[in-house]
Structure 1
Amino acid sequence: MAYATLDELRGRLDWEPDEDELRIAAGALDDASDLAATYGRDWPEDTAPRLVKTLVLKSAARYMRNPNGYTQSRAGDETLAWSDIGRDGGTVYFSREEIRLLEELAGRKRGITSVAVFAWGTKPGGRSVAGRVPVDYSPASPFPMFVDEAGPW
């Protein structure tokens, strides 16, 4: 279940991949599609947003161009360097911005939200107050205690 095809990935590469590279590319497309479904949601292939396909192709092409995740390579004294992408080096991955885009496409919002909290066994909106109990921090405004069908507390 890939959100993009090998032909679409070929169009993003600046060389013609051989058979082994095509096998690796097919795996990269599957991996990127699985990650897109994980960070976003499991869209059906035929109705996935266009941006999901774009991000999958971008991730797979990035992997195909640099499968080991090198940021520097020198032939003279054999110097290799990796970037700060950490565990993602040498794998198919999405950047933080790409992950944020997938989350937004899936309707996931990050941040703080509020939720309504109700006493155990009460009904939202239809609470009846059995009474109020005094509190030491504000004697003028006692704390409401809610009832359920079984008893007052």
Structure 2
Amino acid sequence: MAYATLDDLKGRLDWTLDEDELRIAATALEDASDMAATYGREWAVDSAPRMVRTLVLKAASRYMRNPGGYTQSRAGDETLAWNDEAGENAGTVYFAREEQDLLAELAGRRPGLTSVPITAWGTNLRRPYRAGAKGPTGDGCVPVDYGGDPFPLYDDAESPW
């Protein structure tokens, strides 16, 4: 159920993969595809957005180029270092925070603000607004000064305000 093929990944790497590397690359593609479905949604392989394929290939090729997740390596005194940015993901197939956000957006899950209608406690909800209704008719609308359609606001039977 990989969103990209092994041939696609081979095209992004600048060396010929041996037998062990081919096995690791296939597993990396599966892992990246599983994570793409987790951060985004489970798309059908043939109808997934192209960007999902791109992100899967990017994560898998990042892993294949640097399976240990090193950010620094020295031959003398054998110094190795990892970057805190990757954190616990160093040495694994992972998506960066921006890539995770992009997958969520591709899946239609956009974080942000939304408006939610609220009413005061004990409000007597009347019939909803009807287009074309005029005046405080008990239908949940109040008149407007400019002569247009009434404004949908829960009115009072004694006073329009």
TM-score range, shorter chain: 0.7 to 0.9
Q: 1:140 matched to which residue of 2?
A: none
Q: 2:44 matched to which residue of 1?
A: 44
Displaced runs of 4 or more, over 6 A: none
Residue 77 of structure 2 aligns to a residue in which SS?
coil
Higher relative contact order (CA 8 A, sep 6+): 1
Sort the Cα spacing of 1:79 and 1:42 in 2 relative to 1 into closer, same or farther, 3 A: same
Alignment of 1:15-54 (within 5 A): 15-54=15-54
Q: 1:78 matched to which residue of 2?
A: 78
Q: 1:62 matched to which residue of 2?
A: 62
Q: 1:150 matched to which residue of 2?
A: none
Hey, what's the Cα distance between the residues in 2 that align with 1:110 and 1:118? 25
1:117 Cα shift? 5.4
1:88 aligns with 2:89: yes
Structure label with greater radius of gyration: 2
Output the TM-score relative to the length of structure 2: 0.72
Runs of 5+ unmatched residues, structure 1: 128-153
Letter in 2 for 1:98: E
1:104 Cα shift? 1.1
1:74 Cα shift? 0.2
Q: 1:146 matched to which residue of 2?
A: none
Deviates more, 1:70-79 or 1:99-108: 99-108
Residue 37 of structure 1 aligns to a residue in which SS?
helix
1:126 Cα shift? 5.1
Q: 1:102 matched to which residue of 2?
A: 103
Residue 11 of structure 1 aligns to a residue in which SS?
helix
1:99 Cα shift? 1.1
Q: Count residues with an aligned counterpart.
A: 127
Output the TM-score relative to the length of structure 1: 0.75
Letter in 1 for 2:104: E
Hey, what's the Cα distance between the residues in 2 that align with 1:126 and 1:99? 44
